[in-house]
Structure 1
Amino acid sequence: MDGAEPEDPLASMAHDVAKAAAALVDLWDRTARAASPRLSGLQLCALMIVRVSPGINLTRLAEEVGAGASATSRLCDRLEAAGLLRRRRRRRPNDRREVGLVLTHQGHESVDAMHERRCRAMLEVLRSMPSDRRLHLLEGLRAFSEVTEAGEG
């Protein structure tokens, strides 16, 4: 025995999945770069979070996007200046100064348009794949999503 340990088959698979996922991420990013207004990945992420959590406060949004409060505030300043986001003061018994974030009509339209562009780009790729491979892809992605959403991955 030469002391070398056998390679973990899951480690090898993880590398293969990462390589394959890069193609999906590239497709995702290309559609974002073609958007009008052009949004960074972080800006789009923030808009999508605010869309599913209307009224979210700046602190929580910063946690969700993984940025500091001041950077997130500047991010929101830019989105607000672009007409995509609005800060709304909320009346809460424990803090009357708290501000909630909501998308504007244009913000909703921008997120919808991005979703449609991504679906069209994905459709073009899926049309080029054999149907059985498409089903395997969907099954695998659903299983992957279930595990990551449960916080196990």
Structure 2
Amino acid sequence: MRVLARQVSEAAEALIVTWNAAAQSAVPRLSSLQLEALLIARRSPGINLTGMAERIGAAPPAASRLCDRLEAAGLLERRRTSTNRREIELKLTPHGQHMLEALAERRLVAISQVLLQVPAAQGEALLVGLRAFTEAVNVEKTIPEP
């Protein structure tokens, strides 16, 4: 299994490089952690700061500083919740949503350009393999830790 893991890792490197290169051309240029926070805010609108900190694996003060920077860039907004005035919810701004959509389009174009060089059958096999990998990751996330 270790040999297969090494081969998959090496083969995935080109995909990861292509994926990340598209993000490096984003304006504003974001760190991977900032981008992750925006994606979390998009998937979980209204997430609170504690939830964000847990999802990115950071302490609440570090998550707060990260959100400060995203808010200053006009990509994220904080609001007090209507149910608990002490709790802050996070939401993408229209500018943040547009930036993520533009990034997704840049990634789509970059990957499409590479796939033009890949025979159709191999592209389909790649997709089947990636879907199986995704399913395995999702199953792993649902298994409770001992």
Give 1:91 shift.
Answer: 2.2
Contact 1:91 1:97 (C-alpha < 8 Å) held by counterparts: no
Q: Distance in 2 between matches of 1:46 and 1:39?
A: 10
Larger radius of gyration: 1
The 5 Å alignment of 1:3-152 reads 10-92=1-83, 95-151=84-140
User: Secondary structure in 1 aligned to 2:78?
Assistant: strand
TM-score normalised by L of structure 1 = 0.89
Percent identity over the alignment?
Answer: 50
What secondary structure, in the 3-state scheme, does the structure 2 residue paired with 1:141 have?
helix
Structure 2 unaligned blocks of 5 or more:
none
TM-score (normalizing by structure 2): 0.93
Moved over 4 A (4+): none
Q: Per-residue CA shift, 1:84-123, capped at 9, x if unaligned?
A: 000011022xx43111000001000000000000010010
Range with bigger deviation, 76-85 or 143-152: 143-152
Length, aligned pairs only: 142
AA of the residue aligned to 2:69: R
Give 2:36's aligned amino acid: C
CA RMSD of aligned residues (A): 1.3
**Take 1:84 and 1:23, find their aligned partners in 2: how far apart are those partners?**
29
Q: Which runs of 5+ in 1 are unaligned?
A: 1-9
Q: Distance in 2 between matches of 1:138 and 1:13?
A: 17
